[in-house]
Amino acid sequence: MNIDWSKLGFAYMQTKSHIRYVWKDGKWDGGELVSEPYLNIHIAATALHYGQTAFEGLKVFRRKDGKLCAFRPEMNARRISASARRSCMAEVPEDLFMDAVRRVVKDNIDYVPPYGTGASLYVRPLLIGTGPQIGVNAANEYTFIILVTPVGAYYKGGLSPVRAIIFDDFDRAAPNGTGMVKMGGNYGAALLPHKIAHDKGFPVDLYLDAAEHKYVDEFGTSNFIAITKDGTYVTPKSHSVLPSVTNDGLQKLAAHLGMKVEVRKIPFEEIETFAEIAACGTAVVITPVNEIVRGDKVIKVGPREGAGPYLQKLYDNYTAIQWGEAADPFGWSVEI
Ligand SMILES: *Cc1c(COP(=O)(O)O)cnc(C)c1O
């Protein structure tokens, strides 16, 4: 095996194995490590017909002290169970989830990038309905897998800002009432606006609330965070925003650094008053956004290059905890 860790992007690479568990007759089996990256699935599986699927994404870091640590995996365990409840799938117990992460990472230890390359091991849990069903009903069999793949440092230089677009003719396909969850079915409808945005030169698309298009919700695959002119961290309060682990961590870190944190409705008009804006999520941590376009309106925010001082500081502190370069006052790192 000869991987150039510095050249890795965010793409699937086959590794030694994935781990696979099956839920049948009311219980999960003991799980097995499987080398073939294929699943033999029933043609009437509910995952295929009714989108009974949920996924997660977290990272494992080879830290400065040599330790191998997963970053807040219990948050992903809880969230995949929330997704399971929302789509009537068998829940994955937290201890099974943690055990699965440990087993699959240990089996693929040669694929964990070394410290100093900026690369890490991306861990992708997936829960799907594999039992056959012709009526619109929940399956009687579920498969839980975790695959792992090494991913590169997103920023090879410093943080670099992107443009975002708001489409008034696409709404997010998020279920109301119980909160946005990471269900596969929600993402199929996000692909077209995402592609149109990309083709127009916008790496990210921003959603307003579907009911009125008055308030900011979140970006296609990441949360919206902003810093006001007086240095307050603000992020939208909305039932259709995915509860991002990164946003949660950045809020805690911001408060720890003495910043004021507000989770509240953010009217579209407020965007132009912000000093800094970013998208946040596990894959990139922070993507500064310095321009937001909605129809003819172009809103410019923050510096032309790099990130603003508050977001840069949050990014530096957050990633230093991940790499074990700084103390972990919140106990976020879980040793494998
Ligand atoms: C995964 C995801 C995020 C980011 O969540 P993290 O837990 O921070 O990775 C934000 N929004 C959506 C829609 C997502 O799917």
Query: Ligand 1 centroid vs 275 CA: distance in angstroms?
Result: 23
Active-site annotation holds for 182: yes
Nearest to 294 by CA among 176, 115, 111, 169: 169
Check if the beta carbon of residue 39 is closer than 8 Å to that of residue 145. yes
Contacts for 258 with CB less than 8 Å, ≥ 6 apart? none
What average pLDDT does the chain have? Answer: 94
> Of 3-7, 95-99, 265-269, which gets the smallest average pLDDT?
3-7
End-to-end Cα spacing for the chain: 22
* Residue 29 · residue 144 · CB < 8 Å: no
Rg, Å, the chain Cα set: 20
**Which residue's CA is the closest to the ligand 1 atom numbered 14?**
221
- pLDDT tens digits for 65-90? 999 999 999 999 999 999 999 999 99
Residue 289 pLDDT exceeds 80:
yes
Residue 230: pLDDT over 50: yes
* Residue closest by Cα to atom 5 of ligand 1: 244
Atom 13 of ligand 1, residue of closest alpha carbon:
221
How do residues 312-330 score in pLDDT, each as one tens digit? 999 999 999 999 999 999 9
Q: Which of 191, 216, 245, 282 to mutate to test the pocket of ligand 1 (most atoms within 8 A of CB)?
A: 282
Pick the more confident residue, 93 or 211.
93
10-30 confidence digits (pLDDT tens): 999 999 999 999 999 999 999
Q: Which residue's CA is the closest to the ligand 1 atom numbered 12?
A: 221
Q: What is the mean pLDDT of residues 260-274?
A: 98
157 Cα: distance to centroid of ligand 1 (angstroms): 24
Distance 134 CA to ligand 1 centre (A): 31
- The more confident residue out of 191 and 273 is 273
- CA 78 to ligand 1 center in whole angstroms: 14
Residue 176 has pLDDT above 60, yes or no: no
Weakest-pLDDT range from 84-88, 173-177, 255-259:
173-177
Bridge partners of 145, per DSSP, are 20, 126
Domains along the sequence of the chain with CATH? 5-151 (3.30.470.10), 162-322 (3.20.10.10)
CA dist 170 and 274 (Å) reads: 25
Phi, then psi, of 256 in degrees rounded to 5: -60, -35
Task: Tell me which residues have their CB closer than 6 angstroms to ligand 1.
Answer: 57, 182, 218, 221-223, 242, 244-246, 281-282
Q: Please identify which of the residues 67, 106, 182, 195 carries the catalytic annotation.
A: 182
Atom of ligand 1 nearest to the CA of 79: 7
